[in-house]
């Protein structure tokens, strides 16, 4: 990430991340960006994402949420 030459290169690297990480970007041209990257599980309805699932098999992941591309505004 530190070797990215500009925001476009940095975004391409972030888009390739599967693990969940937070990234900040700033350059000398005044571009500042925040990204949250990673694959997120599709949890069962009415479960609180702040807490782990109970582990008895009744609250298994329902799949993986579809990945979206990072967008800068």
Domain boundaries, the chain: 1-73
Residues sharing a CB contact under 8 Å with residue 55, sequence separation 6 or more, in sequence order: none
Q: What is the pTM of this model?
A: 0.57
Most distant CA pair in the chain: distance in Å? 52
Contact 60, 44 (CB under 8 A): yes
Per DSSP bridges, beta strands 32-37 and 21-26 are: antiparallel
pLDDT by residue for the chain (73 residues), tens only, comes to: 888 889 999 998 888 888 888 999 999 999 999 988 887 788 888 888 888 888 888 888 888 877 665 555 4
* Model pLDDT, residue 72: 52
């Amino acid at each position: 990430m530190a070797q990215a030459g500009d925001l476009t290169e940095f975004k391409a690297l972030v888009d390739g991340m599967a693990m969940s990480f937070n990234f900040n970007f700033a350059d000398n041209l005044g571009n500042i960006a925040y990204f949250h990257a990673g694959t997120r599980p599709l949890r069962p309805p009415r479960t609180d994402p702040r807490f782990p699932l109970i582990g008895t098999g009744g609250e298994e992941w329902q799949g993986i949420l579809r990945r979206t591309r990072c967008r800068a505004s």
